[in-house]
Chain A
Amino acid sequence: MATPKQTVPERPVFDYAPAPESRDIVDLKSSYGLFIDGEFVDGSGPSFKTVNPATEEKLAEVATASADDVDRAVRAARKAFDGWSALPGSERAKYLFRIARIIQERARELAVLESLDNGKPIRESRDVDLPLVAAHFFYYAGWADKLGHAGFGADPRPLGVAGQVIPWNFPLLMLAWKIAPALACGNTVVLKPAETTPLTALLFAEICRQAELPPGVVNIVTGAGETGSAVVSHPDVAKVAFTGSTEVGRIIARSVAGTGKKLTLELGGKAANIVFEDAALDQAVEGVVNGIFFNQGHVCCAGSRLLVQESIQDELLTALKRRLGTLRLGDPLDKNTDIGAINSAEQLAKIRRLSDLGESEGAERWSPACELPAKGYWFPPTLFTGVAQSHRIAREEIFGPVLSVLTFRTPAEAVEKANNTPYGLSAGIWTEKGSRILWMADRLRAGVVWANTFNRFDPASPFGGYKESGYGREGGLLGLEAYLDV
């Protein structure tokens, strides 16, 4: 390994020519309705616009589903439930396989639309989101006729109508995590995508029609918090699944109290990414960068706290800063882009507010030289050193490209600091010593532990949190439990 230089280059060594992905593949309509009972219908609420966060241009007008619209969607789902749940699992499986295949066929279109509506780099929507979306449907398709072998009894039954509310950070992937297991188990769904990223869910509705999925099995209602609340509180919804903030998760947990609805929550995080002095440094640097700057840090399991062993702090920070200097921020549709746009003005304001707080509380802020586009919502990759555990940037989920660096001396101290959070979604460990990995993994109170890697996802692998990061698992065999009456 080369001795790290103490200077940080101000600009990347190479300039890249623009390599934009064409957006012609996406046929945007000027306005979108709701998808209820197999049909696209108007919403009764006022329509709202969804914008491209990289340019602030309006992409489309989208309908708001009122409580009455949600009621119609739930009734359609309830009506469809009897037939869908009575289908042989092998038939349900074939619908899901069909959907998986159509997603693969239309992957580029979906990826471009995702990047347009969300602001994430096309490299990620194309190479991470979409392959995982298709794989998730493919995986749960295979379970639909094998539920009796999953360890939940000989003939585990579905719950009924699942009301699902998903966030804006991985719009289509979160849809897949919700809809694929629900349908495989024999439930029908009413899903509300996030207010700022509804478009890929509406394109998914079209895919359901291409797959000839029976009407009412999947219903998509768009809107903001009120629409979500109507979905969650509808009396005919038997199962609620939510991914989003811990704050809203608490409200939902309160609202379903005493109802008999089954609830799973996948909420916030403040994961520690722990680097020991014997770690393979270059790999650790890549892992730390991927941990917090993947998807602009809009990741609930992001490694937002770097815990570095004191003895290698300088060396690691030098290497990390040099690497951050090579990250390319800009047009999400450019195939060379590493960091795209922040999803919304609101989220950008939150990231700015918390970062300013980091400075005013005494941490030292650093960003590489980085030109931000004039239009759109942008925030440079940022790291804070000299962070204390009491600082708000070490305690609160920022949900942006902001890394807080803390140090430790012993493994026990690393465990103590890593666990010193009400969250418990994920954690990272970087060391070449196997026994230390397992010792650490045993003690970290987190649902996913990545050792010498970070931010890996797979449909076969359960994902979900401890403590205030929520409950229930998505993915894998254990992900079936959320959608079965067991």
Chain B
Amino acid sequence: MSRLTVRKTYKLFIGGAFPRSESGRSYPVTSPKGDFLANASRASRKDARDAVSAARKAFPGWSGATAYNRGQILYRIAEMLEGRRAQFADELGGARKPALETVDAAVDRLVWYAGWSDKISSVHGTANPVAGPYFNLSSPEPTGVVAVVAPADPLLGLVSVVAPVIVTGNTCVVVASEPAPLPAITLAEVLATSDLPGGVVNILTGHQAELAPWLAAHMDVNGLDLTGVADPALALRCEEEAAANLKRVQRPVTADWRADPGLRRMTRFLETKTVWHPLGV
């Protein structure tokens, strides 16, 4: 007799815990061929608000951690992901070899960003030679809570938008790929076992059009990454909503996730603080 597999219940990831949607809703997720894979949670706007609260609560601790510590934790995420290489390749589906290459690229991307934690200030900060007897230094600081609408690419795309946001000290609420949300929730299991403090990354699954405008309008969200929004009307609405508290907005882009990412995804959600002090004896 063949053994019946024990399936996983795919839930949300909020504040380091895995709750179901408070709405009690789910939606079926299928493979590209149309086979049923799972019922994913369909997050509500209340879930989105809870996720923002969790991200806000986590911000002082995460932004206040040393850059070295944040780098270590991102590297730890890479380690944990590497350890689940086969599982993610299974979940991505399709041909085995490209699936494994995608997981490898996601691991490598995390390692790349991990190293930036204690270097971005040196590259993006400046010592300013002002015309007077003053010490004057500009350094980057995280923007705060960033809402991220993740691209369709369910693992490499997701990692490529989340890592640059958190490595600098931001916390985030992520809306996972709507058609392929399962790797995001499995990634949450990786995050939950990587010493990443709860609330630094919160992951919602569900309908992008239902969640993104609420996050765009939320007054305690400081940044908005619309990379994964394919519908121009939805992107426009979100950017308009974001103006209410002048969120920093990354407009939708079609990205090649295998290309060198550059610094832009980090600098988009960085503020510059300039400190002056007189010289004297």
Contacts and interface: CB of A to CB of B under 8 A. Distances in A.
B235 A462 contact: no
B240 interface: yes
Contact of B276 (A246, A451, A468, A478): A451
Interface in B108-154: 123-124, 126, 128-132, 134, 136, 138, 143-144
Interface stretch (A55-63, A68-76, A108-116, A441-449): A441-449
Interface in A237-287: 246, 249-251, 253-254, 257-258, 260, 265, 267
A429 to B, nearest CB: 9
Contacts of B126: 462, 476-478
Contact of B246 (A135, A151, A249, A257): A249
A448 B276 contact: yes
Given A422-B245, A462-B126, A441 B232 contact: no
Contact of A470 (B124, B132, B246, B272): B246
A467 interface: yes
A147 to B, nearest CB: 15
B128 A253 contact: no
A460 B130 contact: yes
Contacts of A464: 272
A375 interface: no
Contacts of B131: 135, 458, 460
A402 B189 CA distance: 54
Contacts of B246: 246, 249-250, 253, 265, 267, 467-468, 470-471
B240 A254 contact: yes
A466 B242 CA distance: 15
B274 A463 contact: yes
B-side interface mostly: mixed
Nearest to A446: B273
Contacts of B271: 447, 466
B132 A458 contact: yes
Nearest to A283: B278
Interface residues of B, number: 36
Contact of B275 (A151, A422, A449, A481): A449
A486 interface: yes
Contacts of A449: 273-276
A387 to B, nearest CB: 24
B236 A453 contact: no
A207 interface: no
Contacts of B65: none
Interface centre among B128, B248, B251, B273 (most CB of A within 10 A): B273
B7 interface: no
B171 to A, nearest CB: 15
A258 B235 contact: yes
B186 interface: no
Interface string A452-486: 11001010111110111011010011100100001
Contacts of B134: 453, 456
Contacts of A468: 245-246
Contact of B130 (A253, A257, A452, A461): A461
Contacts of A441: 273, 275
A48 interface: no
Interface centre among B124, B130, B246, B277 (most CB of A within 10 A): B246
A458 B240 CA distance: 34
A461 B243 contact: no
A258 B222 contact: no
Contacts of A447: 271-274
A40 interface: no
B138 A478 contact: yes
B232 to A, nearest CB: 7
B127 to A, nearest CB: 9
B272 A451 contact: no
A453 B243 contact: no
Contacts of A249: 246
A47 to B, nearest CB: 33
Interface in B211-232: 222, 232
Nearest to A481: B267
A250 B128 contact: no
B276 A254 contact: no
B33 interface: no
Contacts of B236: 257-258
B86 interface: no
Contacts of B248: 471
Given A449-B274, A466-B271, A468-B245, 6 more contacts: A460-B136, A461-B136, A466-B273, A468-B246, A476-B138, A481-B267
Q: Which 7 interchain pairs have the tightest Cβ spacing? A: A257-B239, A253-B243, A458-B130, A258-B236, A254-B243, A460-B128, A461-B128
13 contacts: A257-B239, A260-B251, A441-B273, A449-B273, A452-B277, A453-B276, A453-B278, A456-B130, A456-B134, A461-B128, A461-B130, A462-B126, A473-B272
